[in-house]
Structure 1
């Protein structure tokens, strides 16, 4: 059963708890589909089954608490923790993933925690890596809270509004509206995928590469 079908099958109170738990565990450093769970719950709220405000509140709480626990774990475990995780879970914590996340921290500093909310790779690394790199907690906390509110709260309310509009649109245009919605969604996903690929390629370029100097004339 997919996570969206699972969410639809439980009670509203359970939905709130599950959203907070899934996003909290993902933020802590466990690779779970937090974004899929959040979007599914937000779409469910558009149908009136659950409250978008409670979905947003639980998602924000899960994001902030999970990242804070991840920060504490990373601060105690340090980089050896990531090396052990890389050996056990190379698909999620391999050297390439860690190097990409570290470059993001070098480039953005504390704001890597904020922007990491919007990037799947950084979302599971941000808290633990900030702790391992000994980022001052007050800086981490500011970026953590802002990122949690903007990402979790903003995503919930945006998807809720889109869901309400789409529901009315599909009622009026039947299959034509459905086809148009699918095309728009596919186009948006393609654009986002291309941008993400370009960003990943840029991060993976070796730092400090330069053309070799010409040989001196004899």
Structure 2
């Protein structure tokens, strides 16, 4: 199925909304990070941020549409984000995923480094776990952490081996997080929930050094 111009422009507008929201939180330092929204599953096509753009601003050339091989579906001077292949892996491994967002924050970088030796970051009993669509009482989650390989195909392959439909995210050591959902609203909610959980845990670790009266 070929996506229409209207579908593409709608995806671009939705990406604008997410991009500006995250930019206001300083989640895109130094033009880092990337965002995508799936347009079709068969064949796989998705709108993704173009490489090297200032994500605090809007321009007519912020996004392009790529296929399952991370290649533009039509001639363009724009280059997809360097890690577009990771978005493709998410959409292939998690068929229900409709949007995938990647950001760099101090919180997710610190958590990914601290807990990399364990292969995952686990947390239990926090209310914001419900933001991930997990409603069991005293629920426990574990988000996988992978090595930050410079070889993007290798990184994408490793991510493809550890992600599951149950936990909508993966951490890359000293790099950032990829979070996804059935649509852009859900992916945004999942990312915000993860970031809150990371910040909560880091502050909890700091408070363990304080002796209460």
Q: Is the structural similarity TM-score above 0.5?
A: no
Larger relative contact order, structure 1 or 2 (CA cutoff 8 Å, min sep 6): 1
When the two structures are superposed, what TM-score results if normalisation uses the length of structure 2? Answer: 0.28
When the two structures are superposed, what TM-score results if normalisation uses the length of structure 1? Answer: 0.28
Higher strand fraction (1 or 2): 2
Of structures 1 and 2, the larger Rg is shown by: 1
